[in-house]
Structure 1
Amino acid sequence: MNGPAGAAPNTAPNTAPTNATSAPLGVEKLDVEKLYAARLHAARVRPYLATALFALHLVESRQVPTMAVDRHWRCYASPAFVARTPVEQLAGVWVHEVSHLLRDHHGRGDRIARELGLEGPAARLRVNIAADCEINDDVYGDGLDRPAGAVRPGMLLLPDGLLMEEYLRRYHFHPRSLQAAWLECGSGADGLDRPWELGPEGAHGLTAQERDAVRFRVAEGIRARPGNAPAGWKRWAEEAFHPPQPWRQLLGAAVRSAVSGPGAGEDYSYGRPARRSAGVPGVLLPSLRRRPPRVSVIIDTSGSVSDDELGSALVEVTAIGRAVGGRRDQVTVVPCDAAPQAVHQLCRTEGIPLVGGGGTDLRTGFRTALRGRPRPDVVVVLTDGQTPWPSAAPSCRTVVGLFPRPVRYSENDPEYRPDAPPEWARVVTIG
């Protein structure tokens, strides 16, 4: 199906749509109030999409058959289409169009088109139809009317519940496709720029950071209250910012990269003179030699970390010992909740008592780890992330293994968000 989405990332919606084409005398003008009423209805029945619905900037256009979105979060609306479509169905169009943008159908459309060698408008129409099938299989109902002509997987003899890429591989044009030949959801749906779009330099487009902020807010809203969202939205929210990844390999690679980087595990030694000593007669210069890197592992033992996650942390400690060449004497463990516990040398992970259960302040764990003698070359933190972080980067590399938290919402403070790990840390999501 086709139609524009409406969205406004932060505050009040724009009430003055851009005129992509001027309206000659006697030509029907865009009924903005009707469109805004439809958007408000969509936000009421799908409150988790409200941030995105009010992030779109409305643009009047007579070059689109119905409504469409570009990849910069502008929504183009045909005055004639708006005039003949009931408000309830326009609400469904708003949700449909903003779904293209939230699910990154433009970026995914570009990638799948390159992979399958799809070129030209006809190929991109296939992408548009596949993207529509991903949205329309479960987005309507429960107060949201399905717009007339909405393409559903069953109409193309395809099953519900697949992703755009899967629908595209299974779907080819046949007589059932003729009714969809008029679809025009814009570059926001398939990644192909249109001549009538305002483009990256046009007014009122969202920056990449603003688009990510909108997606984050919507995903967090769905994950906080998942009972009201269809299965497709729940899946999107879980994978929007944390796509499936081989986390164990990533964590091991992050640790190995940190311990093998310049400066880690390096020290000066007089056991073998430096070669540059020959240029300084009578002076003995030390050489820079590699030694086994020292790693300090801070384990979050606060009450918000489950026993299963603490067990996973001990498994990771063992893997870290292997990452440094099996030298367990080079690995220390610091259990920490609001205060650090005793520092343990890694002999056997079963012998490390993970005591705690109180609040969380891993800054104390950092201070304890960095006071160790000799100082560590790498600090590895295993935590759920609900902790304050040091205000400055430590003097060594830092790797954070983050236990995922699907719900970061507080009834007492809806705006609560734990501090994200700092930029100087290499972050890998565990699990």
Structure 2
Amino acid sequence: MPAGPRAPASPAGVSLDRTKLLAARLKATGSHPYLASALYSLTVVPSFEVPTMGVDRHWRCYVSPAFVDATPVPALAAVWIHEVAHLLRDHHRRAELLPSAVRHDHHRVNVAQDCEINDDLSSLPAGAMKPAMFGLPDGRLFEEYLGGIPATPHPPQCGSGAHGVPMPWESSAAARVSPAEAGAIRRQTAQALRAHAKARGRVPAGWSRWADEILEPTIDWRQALTGAVREAAAWAAGAVDYTYRRPSRRGAAVRGVVLPSLRRPMPRVAVVVDTSGSMGDEQLRAVLAEVAGVLRAVGIGHNRVAVLSCDADVHAVRQVATVGEVTLEGGGGTDMRVGIERALQARQRPQIVIVLTDGLTPWPPTAPSAARVVAGLVGDEAPSPPPWIETIRIPSR
């Protein structure tokens, strides 16, 4: 529930005004019809311990009878939407992915989550957390808000369905929604939102963005790049060769003869960096740092990596140990063909060529032999390279 004045404690025996509470839910479905299925999936659990309203990760909604008595129906309707938003946006799972140093302060996490939800909600009770209260812009995810949220002496208590930490007032006796059912509810809600937007044309920006992510999930480009490089490395390592550095154990059966053993070579990598005028130096260094992490994760050491700075010509070729050693020279036109060709002409020919570019370049007409090319296209509008190039799209921010 959004932070605000708490209702007086309910004395034992005071019952929940379900008529008022359900009237508020009906009002919520009237203003946000695409949320109807999700709102009616919540199980209401009256509780004298919960300060206002809160949810657990099993779609149980805990409600204070005193809070319902003290809150007008329009505000209660907004709180219904607020609480179901925590579950639809999978806040508890996202909270578990935070670094432990941040995750343990679940009150601060809850405030940031409320800011993500409340920026496009009206009629909330007084004191509801909104980004403007902290000098932050609307329209961000809670992970982006966290850095600007200070500790608060009056934290919200939205329950484990928000920050992921079980609260004393949560019960295991009431009906629950399974993770598989929750996934189906999210998808159904996203489809209903799309249909509503198409028919009516008016949907809050935060909800529209959420539906896009549910129906067309964005693959993290770092994971995609790691997978592409790992697959290319496995392909290159498949080219087995013989070596006498480690003699074959079968040689023990033949006196006086040393037999070679088979080896799977660790691939060499060339990173061709587009330093033309259309590429930002700061952005390139950030992407290079990620690429260095990918190569380490795959097990390719820096002594097997060459970095080439290239615009319409190749300006620098270096074996580097850290990203800080990379010299980004250039700033003219763009032609990644010369960078790829130069990389493949090296005395120690790479088996993997990673090209970081905005895509505004000509490409080689055919795939090189005995090498795989992976293109990291920086920017949302980057044109696609030829189909034989493994393509990873890197957002501009």
Give the match for residue 230 of structure 1: 204
101, 116, 121: which one aligns with 1:139: 121
Change (3 A) 1:45 1:252: same
Q: Does 1:217 align with 2:188?
A: yes
- Cα distance change of structure 1 residues 192 and 117 upon mapping to structure 2, 3 Å threshold: closer
Residue number in structure 2 paired with 1:196: 169
User: 1:326-369: CA deviations, max 9, x gaps?
Assistant: 9xxxxxxxxxxxxxxxxxxxxx9989xxxxxxxxxxxxxxxxxx
- Letter aligned with residue 156 of structure 1: F
Relative to structure 2, which stretch is displaced further, 45-54 or 161-170? 161-170
Match of 1:242 in 2: 217
In structure 1, the partner of 2:61 is 75
Aligned counterparts of 1:259 and 1:152: Cα–Cα separation in 2:
47
Between the aligned partners of 2:55 and 2:229, the Cα distance in structure 1 is: 44
CA distance in 1, matches of 2:139, 2:90: 17
1:164-313 aligned within 5 A: 164-173=142-151, 177-178=152-153, 181=154, 183-198=156-171, 202-226=173-197, 227-240=201-214, 242-245=217-220
CA distance in 2, matches of 1:155, 1:164: 14
**What amino acid is aligned across from residue 129 of structure 2 in structure 1?**
V
Q: Deviation of residue 117 (structure 1)?
A: 6.0
Corresponding residue SS for 2:98: helix
Give the deviation of 1:430 after TM superposition.
Answer: 8.0
Residue identity matched to 1:160: D
Q: Report the AA paired with residue 66 of structure 1.
A: T
Aligned length: 284
Alignment of 1:335-346 (within 5 A): none
Q: TM-score, length-normalised on structure 1?
A: 0.50
Cα separation, partners in 2 of 1:255 and 1:65, compared to 1, 3 Å: closer
The gaps in structure 2 that reach 5 residues or longer are 4-9, 240-247, 249-263, 265-343, 345-349, 352-362, 367-390
By how many angstroms is 1:131 displaced? 1.0
Q: Which residue of 1 aligns with 2:96?
A: 110
State the shift of 1:103 in Å.
1.4
Structure 1 residue ranges (4+ consecutive) displaced by more than 6 angstroms after TM superposition: 249-253, 255-262, 348-351, 428-431
| Residues 170, 23 of structure 1: alpha-carbon distance in 2 compared, 3 angstrom cutoff | closer
TM-score (norm 2): 0.54
Partner of 2:359 in structure 1? Answer: none
* Structure 1 unpaired stretches of 5+: 4-21, 267-274, 276-289, 291-321, 327-347, 352-427
- Percent identity for Structure 1 against Structure 2: 45
Partner in structure 1 of residue 307 of structure 2: none
Q: CA deviation at 1:139?
A: 2.4
Q: Write the mapping of 1:370-389 to structure 2, written as runs, cut at 5 A.
A: none
Query: Which residue does the alignment assign to 2:333?
Result: none
Residue 59 and residue 156 in structure 1: after superposition, are their counterparts in 2 closer, same or farther (change >3 A)?
Answer: same
Aligned to 1:54: 40
Offset of residue 182 of structure 1: 5.6
Instruction: Give the Cα separation in 2 of the matches to 1:128 and 1:86.
Output: 24
Instruction: Report the secondary structure of 2:54's partner residue.
Output: strand
Deviations 1:24-46 (A, max 9, x none): 5xx32011122111111101110
Partner secondary structure for residue 185 of structure 1: coil
The question of 1:127 aligning with 2:101 is answered no
Contact between 2:111 and 2:149, CA under 8 Å: does it hold in 1?
Answer: no
> Do the aligned residues in 2 keep the contact of 1:34 with 1:87 (CA within 8 Å)?
yes
1:44 match: 30
In 1, Cα distance between equivalents of 2:227 and 2:99: 32
159, 166, 176: which one pairs with 2:137?
159
Q: 1:117 to 1:134 in 2, by over 3 A?
A: closer
- Could you tell me whether the CA contact under 8 Å between 1:42 and 1:92 is conserved in 2? yes
**What SS does the corresponding residue of 1:150 show, helix, strand or coil?**
coil
Counterpart of 1:190, as a letter, is H
Q: Distance in 2 between matches of 1:197 and 1:109?
A: 18
Q: Aligned partners of 2:111 and 2:129: how far apart in 1?
A: 7
Contact kept in structure 2, 1:2 and 1:68, CA below 8 Å? no
Show the counterpart of 2:355. none
User: Residue type of the partner of 2:157?
Assistant: E
Tell me which of 71, 79, 82 is aligned to 1:85. Answer: 71
User: Could you say if the C-alpha distance between residues 59 and 113 of structure 1 is closer, same or farther in structure 2, counting changes exceeding 3 Å?
Assistant: farther
Contact 2:107 / 2:155 at 8 angstroms: preserved in 1?
no
The SS at the match of 1:75 is strand
Measured in 1, the distance between the counterparts of 2:103 and 2:182 equals: 28
How many angstroms does 1:146 deviate by? Answer: 2.4
2:317 — aligned with what?
A: none
Shift of the alpha carbon at 1:83?
Answer: 1.4
Superposed CA RMSD in Å reads: 5.0
